[in-house]
Amino acid sequence: MVRYVYDFPEGRRDMADLLGGKGANLAEMTRLGLPVPPGFTVTTDACRAFLTTGAEPDGMLAEVSRHLSAVEDAAGRRLGQRDDPLLLSVRSGARFSMPGMMETVLDIGLNDDSVLGLAKASGSERFAWDSYRRLLQMFGSTVMGVDAALFERAMTTLKGMRHAPDDLHLDARDLAELVEAYKELIRDESGEYFPQSPAEQLRLAILAVFRSWNGDRARIYRRREHIPDDLGTAVTVQRMVFGNLGPDSGSGVAFTRDPATGRSGLYGDYLPNAQGEDVVAGIRNTVPLAELERLDPRSYEQLLAHMGTLERHYRDLCDIEFTIERGTLWMLQTRVGKRTAEAAFAIAAELADEGLVSADEALARVDGDGLARLMFPRFDASAAGEPLAHGIPASPGAAVGAAVFDSAEAVRRAAAGEKVVLVRQETTPDDLPGMIAAQAVLTSRGGKTSHAAVVARGMGKVCVCGAEELAVDTGARRFTTRGGTVVAEGTVVSVDGSDGAVHLGAVPLADSAVMRFLETGERSTGVVPAVVRALEHADAVRRLEVRANADTPEDARRARRFGAQGIGLCRTEHMFLGERRKLVEEMILARDGVERERALAALLPLQREDFTDILEAMDGLPVTIRLLDPPLHEFLPDRTELAVRVAAAEARGERPDPHEQALLEAVGRMHEENPMLGLRGVRLGLVIPGLVAMQVRAVAEAVVARTRAGGSPHAEIMVPLVGAVEELRIERAEVERVLAEVSEESGIAVRCPIGTMIELPRAALTAGRIAEEAEFFSFGTNDLTQTTWGFSRDDVEAEFFAAYLDKGVFLASPFETLDRDGVGRLVRIAVDEGRAARPGLTIGVCGEHGGDPDSVHFFHAAGLDYVSCSPFRVPVARLEAGRAAL
């Protein structure tokens, strides 16, 4: 029989699929003997069943009440009993952390009777009524669908009437009055009474948490984080402990290390006399955790000890939520904490030094996305000048953008291509779309653990929070600094998430230390030694080689500095952009052999010199030169523009320019409706006489020149867009003929491996045949994705891709992350059949996917020999290739 409920001591950390991250870690802490309020977890299985059928699965409620009885027995109290009632929290907790994206209901068990019992038992009427109004507020909005703003409004009205600056100034009578107002609000808005039965409250709260898995916020977050939609959430039900019982109580959030830099020590925020929710929401300003040592030294010592236990047990940075209830410390949550990229590298290196993790594990804990982030520039401190304000540096990096004051405006402006900084007093999960759209998030309230900080760090987005000097006026769409500067919506500001500074205007950017290391080898500063360690270990363990896609000597040199082991794709058509485009145009449009030969002759020396320089930059390493593959529309003049020019000249009565007319006629003749599927790649070589010969001659002569100069050139010749072995056979014969010719002329034997790209489904499906003529394969996954899905590479950033992502057709664009099921299947077929026909066949990939972390793992598993990517992605690919090999 399927079980739907587990008591905390029955679970384990590795059961997160079933119990969610929160449930699994509460179980683990319970087993470690840490003080966790007793409770149980309803599984993700139950959630999935509920979401499929719309009803809780059979037996779930009976199990819940059995486990509830156990909690009640242990506490010696019953849920919602009239005197001293047991109260429960009901929280979401999915496999992957989705901070604040789903629902929570606290204080379950309170009703018109038990609130009196709570008042007596706690000795505080104010506390009891405050708890009841919190329940009504959360339950009303989460479970009964009442607009949360209405509760806020009722509270604000009452505070206004009582001249109370904040909720702490409302007394028990006021709060009791508010409870009545809230109950009325619920009845008016939902048409139903707030349920007085504690068991019914519990049931409805559990189902509401299940339902919140499919709420808008949660869905947007999952899309952003590539979390599958079908996991569902678990629900943890736990005895309430209270941090708002007076000055000897409080709630806090703590990290075992600084999540921004990775430095070890105690970091966090504490809020005396408050519930955990108040800390995270950033509603009141917290004090640094170190203050707790003064306020409650015993709890502080205990907390320190528990944090040590957790960090040693998890062997990683842990973040923790805790509550102190009248001097007793309770641990409410832990998890391996989110951290910045810088902290991830620093922590991995430090834990390896401490012997807590092996070099392999240290490598597993960093990733290519993080490395890429560290390669971004930061603000140039010398040019920054006096900041407008300072806040807490919550998520590092440098961002410049126009200040905007709500999520919708951020989304609107970003969609129009503007860079924006979202400025709020504090953020809530409703601000998520705006946070995604913005370059940075700036808040005037809240600490390092506020919603803004946690979410921004997870996204790798710049964030400064708690900039108290700023008075943010959302209604008037402006903020005012303490010095009186008014910054209106649309004004450009610069936000430094590394030191917390906010500047007026656009501050210039300075290089990152990691980039400086990659460029110059300077390795002593900041996080660089930790990055070097990870990269060196990745290089030692990886099987995949990493090459670069480079078409210029500068790119080749940079790629080599970044650790590329050769060039996997030199796109020769890129050598003819700009001024040289004319020459390609002339060659394509030549009306006869004489014109064509003239054009080709002009191209030859340019190509030869380019190749010579690139071979020099990559001396001793392979350089895969791809024969010309220009989609014609990229190289020919635009037909419409040309036609308009010719017609306008005619209308002015001018004599037609014969060149323009000839061009128009030729462009018309060669026009293609689908140039990406047209006269490209090998097809061009087969129909334009002399083209292949010219390119191969340029390569061969460059090899000769480099050999004569004492170099060690390793050119490889690659034929693009092959669909049939016959195409390759014809082209190959031509390549060999020219190589032999140049060898003969120069007296130097020019030997270049000849291979092909696999970028059409037919090529993949006939790879066994193609391998007869190919000494290597390189997957062109850009075209292979285009032709497998039938998505135009040039048009996919159009609307429907966003809709596809939104509807979950795919979690990431298949042009960014390889589609394993479809395109990946073709890759595997081609690898198997290619190697079966030609054992030892060298196989690589040179589409964009070669630098994408997830895809690199796939290519490793598929048995490729190398990935090739843009020079800036080379370090990322090295790191991920190492991680794939672990």
Q: Is 759 annotated as a binding residue?
A: yes
Is 14 among the annotated ligand-binding positions?
A: no
Closest of 134, 135, 131 to residue 121, by C-alpha: 131
Residues near 487 by beta carbon (within 8 Å), at least 6 away in sequence: 388, 403, 478, 479, 480, 481, 493, 504
685 binds ligand PEP (CB under 6 A): no
Instruction: Report whether 519 belongs to an annotated binding site.
Output: no
Scanning 6-14, 183-191, 516-524, 779-787 for contacts with Mg ion by CB under 5 A, the matching segment is 779-787
Question: Can you give the length of the chain in residues?
Answer: 886
Q: Strand, coil or helix: what is 217?
A: helix
List beta partners, residue 868.
547
- Reduced to 3 states (helix: H, G, I; strand: E, B; else coil), residue 93 is strand
Asked if 813 touches ligand PEP (CB under 6 A), the answer is: no
Residue 607 and residue 71: Cα distance in Å, rounded? 78
Nearest to 440, CA basis, from 458, 464, 416: 464
Nearer to Mg ion, 114 or 781 (CB): 781
Question: Is residue 846 near ligand PEP by the rule CB under 6 A?
Answer: yes
Q: Which span sits near Mg ion by CB under 5 A: 191-199, 292-300, 384-392, 781-789? A: 781-789
- Sort strands 264-272 and 233-239 into parallel, antiparallel or unpaired: unpaired
549 annotated as belonging to a binding site for a ligand: no
Choosing from 272, 466, 630, 780, the residue that interacts with ligand PEP (CB under 6 A) is 780
Q: Near ligand PEP by CB under 6 A, which window of 526-534, 581-589, 776-784, 870-878?
A: 776-784
Name which of Mg ion, ligand PEP, none residue 781 binds, using a CB cut-off of 5 to 8 Å depending on partner kind. Answer: ligand PEP
Which residue number, 30 or 781, has a Cβ lying nearer to ligand PEP? Answer: 781
Name every residue whose Cβ is closer than 8 Å to that of residue 90 and which is 6 or more positions away in sequence: 104, 105, 106, 108, 202, 205, 206, 209, 235, 236, 237
Q: Is 645 among the annotated ligand-binding positions? A: no
Q: Please identify, using beta-carbon distances, which residue of 426 and 629 lies nearer to ligand PEP.
A: 629
Q: Least distance from C-beta 369 to ligand PEP, angstroms?
A: 21
User: How many Å apart are CA 616 and CA 772, to the nearest integer?
Assistant: 31
Sheet holding 5-7, edge to edge: 5-7, 39-42, 233-239, 88-94, 104-108
Q: Which is nearer to Mg ion, 573 or 865 (CB)?
A: 573
Which residue stretch of 18-26, 158-166, 240-248, 775-783 sits at the interface with ligand PEP (rule: CB under 6 A)? 775-783
- Of the candidates 780, 834, 844, 850, which one interacts with Mg ion according to CB under 5 A? 780
DSSP 264: E
The minimum distance between CB 759 and ligand PEP, in angstroms, equals 5
- Asked if 163 contacts 155 with a C-beta cutoff of 8 angstroms, the reply is no
State the catalytic residues.
Answer: 451, 846
> What six digits make up the tokens of 796?
């996919």
Least Å distance between CB 783 and Mg ion?
A: 4
Which is closer to Mg ion, CB of 649 or CB of 676?
676
- The β-bridge relationship of strands 714-719 and 754-758 is parallel
Q: Contacting ligand PEP (CB under 6 A), which of 782, 789, 811, 812? A: 782
For the chain, report the end-to-end CA distance as a whole number of angstroms. 37
Return d(Cα 450, Cα 456) in angstroms, integer: 10
Which residues are CB-contacts of 355 (< 8 A; sequence separation ≥ 6)? Answer: none
Hey, which residues between 555 and 574 contact ligand PEP (CB under 6 A)? 569, 571
Q: Among the candidate windows 120-128, 220-228, 447-455, 777-785, which touches ligand PEP by CB under 6 A?
A: 777-785
Number of residues that bind ligand PEP (CB under 6 A): 10
CB of 483 to ligand PEP, least distance (A): 52
Q: Using CB distances below 5 to 8 A depending on partner kind, what does residue 135 bind out of Mg ion, ligand PEP, none?
A: none
Nearer to ligand PEP, 650 or 794 (CB): 794
Cross-strand partners of 845: 779, 867
Given ligand PEP, Mg ion, none, residue 63, with its beta carbon under 5 to 8 Å by kind, binds none
Residues pairing with 271 in the sheet: 251
Candidates 274-282, 384-392, 698-706, 780-788 — which segment interacts with ligand PEP by CB under 6 A?
780-788
Helix, strand and coil in the chain, % to nearest 5 = 50, 15, 35
- Alpha carbon distance 27, 33 (integer Å): 10
Pairing of strands 545-549, 567-571: parallel
**Shortest spacing between CB 783 and ligand PEP, in angstroms:** 3
Query: Per the structure block, which two tokens stand in for 104?
Result: 């929570």
Strand partners, 318: 336
Tell me the closest approach of the beta carbon of residue 681 to ligand PEP, in angstroms.
Answer: 8
Q: How far apart are alpha carbons 569 and 583 in whole angstroms?
A: 22
Phi, psi of 535 (to 5 degrees): -65, -40
Q: What is the DSSP string of 484-535?
A: --EEETT-EEEEETTT-EEEES-PPEE--HHHHHHHH----STTHHHHHHHH
Q: Which is nearer to ligand PEP, 450 or 786 (CB)?
A: 786
What, of Mg ion, ligand PEP, none, does residue 847 touch, CB below 5 to 8 Å by kind? ligand PEP
Lay out the site mask for ligand PEP across 571-600 (x = CB under 6 A, - = otherwise): x-----------------------------
What whole-number distance in Å separates Cα of residue 17 and Cα of residue 24?
9
Rounded CA-CA distance 558/569 in Å is 15
- Min. distance of Cβ 549 from ligand PEP in angstroms? 7
Q: CA 195, CA 177: separation in Å to the nearest integer?
A: 18
AA identity, residue 517: F
Out of ligand PEP, Mg ion, none, what residue 571 binds, judged by CB under 5 to 8 A for its kind, is ligand PEP
User: x/- contact string, 81-120, with Mg ion (CB under 5 A)?
Assistant: ----------------------------------------
Closest approach of ligand PEP to the CB of residue 779, in Å? 7
Tell me whether residue 494 or residue 549 sits nearer to ligand PEP (CB atom). Answer: 549
Is the CB of 202 or the CB of 569 nearer to ligand PEP?
Answer: 569
Residues 80 and 109: their CA atoms lie apart, in Å, by 4
Q: Which does 553 bind (CB under 5 to 8 A by kind): Mg ion, ligand PEP, none?
A: none
Residue 781 is labelled as binding a ligand: yes
Contact 453, 447 (CB under 8 A): yes
Indicate the residue type of 776.
F
Separation CA 728–CA 481 (nearest Å): 68
CB of 607 to ligand PEP, least distance (A): 17
Q: Is 401 in the site for Mg ion (CB under 5 A)?
A: no
Closer to ligand PEP by Cβ: residue 529 or 678: 678
Query: What is the footprint of ligand PEP within residues 732-771 (CB under 6 A)?
Result: 759
Known binder of ligand: residue 817? no
Q: Which of residues 758-777 bind Mg ion (CB under 5 A)?
A: 759
CB 79 within 8 A of CB 199: yes
Answer yes or no whether residue 783 interacts with Mg ion by CB under 5 A.
yes
Judged by beta carbon, residue 158 or residue 679, the one nearer ligand PEP is 679
Hey, what are 491's tokens? Answer: 């004004």
Considering the rule CB under 5 A, would residue 568 count as an interface residue with Mg ion? no
- Rounded to 5 degrees, what are φ and ψ at 416? -85, 5
The window from 103-111, 460-468, 735-743, 756-764 that contacts Mg ion (CB under 5 A) reads 756-764
Near ligand PEP in 601-630, by CB under 6 A? 629
140 is in the binding site of which of ligand PEP, Mg ion, none (Cβ under 5 to 8 A by kind)? none
The binding site consists of 571, 626, 759, 780-783
The binding site for Mg(2+) consists of 759, 783
Q: Which residues bind Mg ion (CB under 5 A)?
A: 759, 780, 783
Q: Which residues bind ligand PEP (CB under 6 A)?
A: 569, 571, 629, 759, 780-783, 846-847
